[in-house]
Structure 1
Amino acid sequence: MSQRLPSSNKNFVRRIIKHYLKYDKENPFIFISALLAFLGIAAGVMVLMIAMGIMNGTQKEFTKKLFVMNYPLTILPIEEDAVNDSLIQILKEKFPHLKYSPYYTTQVITKNEGAVQGSLLYGIDYEKEADINPIFKKAKGDTTSKFRVVMGEGLSFEMNAPKGEKVTLYFSEQQAIGFGTMPLQKRFIVDGVFKSGLKAYDKAIMYTSLEAFEKLLKQPHGSYDGLHIYSKNPLDEINDIKTILPDNVVIEGWWQQNGNFFSAMEMEKKALFLVLLLIILVASLNIISSLLMTVMSRRSEIALMRTLGATKTEIKSIFFKLGLIIGSAGMIAGTLLGSLGIWILTTFDIISMPEDVYGTSKLPVDLTLSDFSFIILGTSIIILLSALYPAKKASQTDPLTVLRNE
């Protein structure tokens, strides 16, 4: 009389799993299929980690560049003279920890040695601007003239106007010449050249002094075209600032000025995640096929185990854990390979990129904990679902039918 095996016999389940994991000379394709499933999941996790790291790193790099050149917060007037020294003083009293830089702005035509280029000219307080804009702080020179400009590297190159050279700026305002008028023009000395890493900004933006605007364009002293504000937590503080602002001004965050751009990047990131997750999904099919082939080739062994007292739960546990082992091993191997790949990309300059397009010459890789968690969660769900069906199929094996056919 056969002794019935207890349902909690973990040693029995463990030994059978070890036996099925070994290479079977009579059925080599089963082992190969399991190996392909392992490699497919490992490759999928590795590619997902590296791809999501690159996407997130690129997004952060663009954010960092745009954050500097667009400023965390900007106050704009709805009515003329709405942004003035009185408003700035109120803001300083209510929010003394913030940094403020008022500005004038206008469009100009820059000309030098026959080269002509349209530009956006800002009139700023050099010291206040340097306090909130590290790129400008690094570029500004020591020229004391009020008619000085700090321009982007791209514009400086096109104008052939390095630091110390002079350029002519043409304004839209008219000045009287004899019996007619012509656009207002003035020679400015190049006080410095900045490099933001974004070509569009480096070719279009220039900074000059507030005094130059007040002198040339008759701007009223103490009344500005806008106010740039530096805040470490602009998302949290924008609503607090709104509560004390008058109705004739509006406040914008840098994320609102570039909302479409970052929405597109976020959508691309999600689409890439789903597409690459299909690699793991395809690899999981090999787990299903491998386990089903194991079930079919071991039908007589399963029937024998059932007749010796093994329960359906134990049979189901054997094949379910077998699938989990193959999938989990692939996931762990993929995590290690992905971590190694990210380390190599961040340590060595293997892939270089055009800096004027991407803002950096080094491939930015930054895999966040949330992205990694989603990768592990998605892979785990696919592995669990892949192991369920073959395990259920194995537990439904009828020992009487199998042994009678044998």
Structure 2
Amino acid sequence: MRFELFVALRYLFARRKQTFISVISVISVLGVALGVASLIVVLGVMNGFTVDMREKILGVNAHVITLAAGGGISGYPELVRKAETVPGVKGATPFIYSEVMLSTRYGVKGVVLRGVDPVSAPAVLGIAGRMVDGSLADLERSGAPGLVIGKELAKRLGITVGSRVNLLSPSGEKTSAGFTPRILSFKIAGIFSTGMFEYDSSLGFVSLDAARDLLGMPAGTVSGLEIVVDDIYRADTVAQAVTQALGGYPFYSRNWMEMNANLFAALKLEKAAMSIMLTLIVLVGSFSIVTTLVMLVMEKSRDIAIMMSMGATKSHIRRIFMLQGTIIGVVGTTLGFGLGLLVCWLLKRYQFIKLPPGVYSLDHLPVLLQWQDLAAIAVGAMVLCFLATIYPARQASSLEPAEALRYE
């Protein structure tokens, strides 16, 4: 064992005359440990929220949406085939988008209506895997046009699979009596649950033909194409390639990152703000290390002078106190990692912190640990602890042996 490390461990674990310094050392270790544990738990929860939100959004929406300037798209089967030939595209499906009113005997509710192809939509939209009753295939199986709605909307209006409802389109007809909205009767063919209150309470799916009849659109016309890609983080590049494959203008494509930029930017900012605030806890622990080492230098000034008189150089003394502070940082960081990982495992395993589902997109705290965050926490904590040792170590190495031993 090196001389510097031996002395540093001796000063840390040997009994001292002043137990107050030992108490401050323990507080330093606990401060670093609590800061590290808090960072691990909070970043894990923030990552969990972000990923859960992204999965739920992409479960209802496609990764890329292709539209045409000025209105709908005709001749979409050929456009779908062209889009599917683009590298990185897993599938494409046409869709129709509009806002309508849903009317039942229990009330009226505004609904975002999406016309989909029951055959190709399940390969693009994750909504097919979130059905709690019925399926998208049932949209065209019943005699009347089928409608799939969210669980919250069904609960609010008191309707179930098989119920009859009316949809009122804003694109009505002018008659001698004035403007008459277009009204069609639909049969509830299925109910889905995404876990997001906004979608479950205001979204409905019908077949393409039913959407055209309700909205008065020409046959063979759709609002655009929905596309799913292999790598969601390359959606912007694939979107540009799809637009070029379709011939450019009047077609243009938008990806999921553009359409939800504000939401994910807010989550990223919140994660950064929480990280900065919790890093201050580690900083407080590192300041305690400064206090501990300064008081230790004052207590051990006689020992330092004797070691220097026996041949220890200033660099030896400096390394002794740097090692001592670094050991405190290592012990605190290790304890913090153990505590933080334990709390994250408990949150993930038992989900004992419940959230109101009407307020949040899920009913428990999600946890997702990423090695990049864990590495950044470990490096950051150790750097702060090491920086805290520089001043006390320099003060110890600048001690003059003659001055320290003059009155001994």
1:134 maps to which residue? 126
Mapping for residues 156-235 of structure 1, pairs under 5 Å: 156-175=154-173, 179-234=177-232, 235=234
2:242 maps to which residue? 241
- SS of 1:145's partner is coil
CA offset at residue 180 of structure 1?
4.5
Mapping for residues 268-283 of structure 1, pairs under 5 Å: 268-283=270-285
Q: Distance in 1 between matches of 2:389 and 2:238?
A: 50
1:59 maps to which residue? 50
Which amino acid in the other structure matches residue 118 of structure 2?
Answer: Y
User: For residues 38 and 188 of structure 1, do their structure 2 counterparts lie closer, same or farther at Cα, with a shift above 3 Å needed?
Assistant: same
Q: Distance in 2 between matches of 1:293 and 1:333?
A: 24
| Match among 92, 96, 106 for residue 104 of structure 1 | 96
- SS of 1:188's partner is strand
- SS of 1:127's partner is coil
Normalised TM-score (structure 2): 0.92
8 Å contact 1:83–1:226 — kept in the other structure? no
CA offset at residue 237 of structure 1?
1.9
The runs of at least 4 consecutive aligned structure 1 residues that moved more than 6 Å come to none
- SS of 1:357's partner is coil
CA offset at residue 324 of structure 1?
0.7
| Match among 45, 49, 57 for residue 36 of structure 2 | 45
| Match among 119, 122, 132 for residue 114 of structure 2 | 122
Count the aligned residue pairs: 397
CA offset at residue 29 of structure 1?
0.7
- SS of 2:120's partner is helix
User: For residues 373 and 358 of structure 1, do their structure 2 counterparts lie closer, same or farther at Cα, with a shift above 3 Å needed?
Assistant: same
CA offset at residue 240 of structure 1?
2.1
8 Å contact 1:198–1:357 — kept in the other structure? no
- SS of 1:285's partner is helix
1:22 maps to which residue? 13
How large is the RMSD of aligned CA atoms in angstroms?
Answer: 1.9
8 Å contact 1:353–1:362 — kept in the other structure? yes
Percent sequence identity over matched residues? 29
Which amino acid in the other structure matches residue 72 of structure 1?
Answer: H
8 Å contact 1:324–1:384 — kept in the other structure? yes
8 Å contact 1:131–1:137 — kept in the other structure? no
User: For residues 94 and 323 of structure 1, do their structure 2 counterparts lie closer, same or farther at Cα, with a shift above 3 Å needed?
Assistant: closer
Q: Does residue 400 of the first structure (1) align with residue 402 of the second (2)?
A: yes
Q: Distance in 2 between matches of 1:181 and 1:91?
A: 40
Q: Distance in 1 between matches of 2:130 and 2:317?
A: 70
- SS of 1:221's partner is coil
Cα deviation 1:352-402 (Å, max 9, x = unaligned)? 112333322231001111111111121111011011111111111100111
CA offset at residue 222 of structure 1?
2.3
8 Å contact 2:86–2:241 — kept in the other structure? no
CA offset at residue 94 of structure 1?
4.1
Q: Distance in 2 between matches of 1:123 and 1:239?
A: 25
Q: Distance in 1 between matches of 2:110 and 2:365?
A: 32
CA offset at residue 285 of structure 1?
0.8
Cα deviation 1:167-202 (Å, max 9, x = unaligned)? 111111324677444211111100011111111111
CA offset at residue 75 of structure 1?
0.6
State which drifts further: 165-174 or 237-246.
237-246
State which drifts further: 349-358 or 101-110.
349-358
Cα deviation 1:193-239 (Å, max 9, x = unaligned)? 11111111111111111111333433223221111111122424223
2:375 maps to which residue? 373
Structure 2: give runs of 5+ residues left out of the alignment: none
1:92 maps to which residue? 84
State which drifts further: 304-313 or 126-135.
126-135
8 Å contact 1:146–1:209 — kept in the other structure? no
User: For residues 187 and 146 of structure 1, do their structure 2 counterparts lie closer, same or farther at Cα, with a shift above 3 Å needed?
Assistant: closer
User: For residues 188 and 300 of structure 1, do their structure 2 counterparts lie closer, same or farther at Cα, with a shift above 3 Å needed?
Assistant: same
